[in-house]
Amino acid sequence: MENVRPAPATLARRFGALLIDWISCLLIAGAFAKPVDEPWLAPGVFVVVYALFLGFFGQTLGMRLFRIRCVSMNTGGPLGVPRALLRAIVMLPLVTALIMDQNQRGLHDRAAGSVVQAV
């Protein structure tokens, strides 16, 4: 039997999941402070959410809704918190997510050794 890898997630699904995740982080941060007063609170929440959820489960809320997951290229399992944290920090400028290779992996995916797959 041949080892079949799941297809990479489309850019539309990835963007939709990111939008849901970003809005949820804005809502969480907004519950504690005004974004104008604490502009780094929402990105901080984003980094923590991504590090924990991708590190342990391979999916965030947005990814679950859009039926995609982020896994290790080597094992196919969750990244672990350190690699997920690296991925989240590199992804913050967003331009890194737009620079993709032929396998639809952004700079943040290559830095963390991850791939986003359709579920």
Q: Report the predicted TM-score, pTM, of the whole model to 2 decimal places.
A: 0.87
Phi and psi at 25, nearest 5°, equal -70, -35
Q: Of 40-44, 85-89, 100-104, which gets the smallest average pLDDT?
A: 100-104
Residue labelled with tokens 């995916």:
109
- Grouping H, G, I as helix, E, B as strand and the rest as coil, residue 114 is strand
Sequence-ordered list of residues with C-beta below 8 angstroms from that of 28, at least 6 positions apart, any chain: 42, 45, 49
Q: Distance from CA of residue 91 to its chain's centroid?
A: 8
The model's confidence at residue 72, banded by pLDDT at 50, 70 and 90, is very high
Query: Nearest Cα to 77, choosing from 59, 64, 51?
Result: 59
As a whole number of angstroms, the distance between CA 30 and CA 114 comes to 30
Residue labelled with tokens 């990105």:
43
Q: Is the pLDDT of residue 50 over 50?
A: yes
The full set of domain ranges for the chain reads 11-118
What is the average pLDDT across 38-44? 93
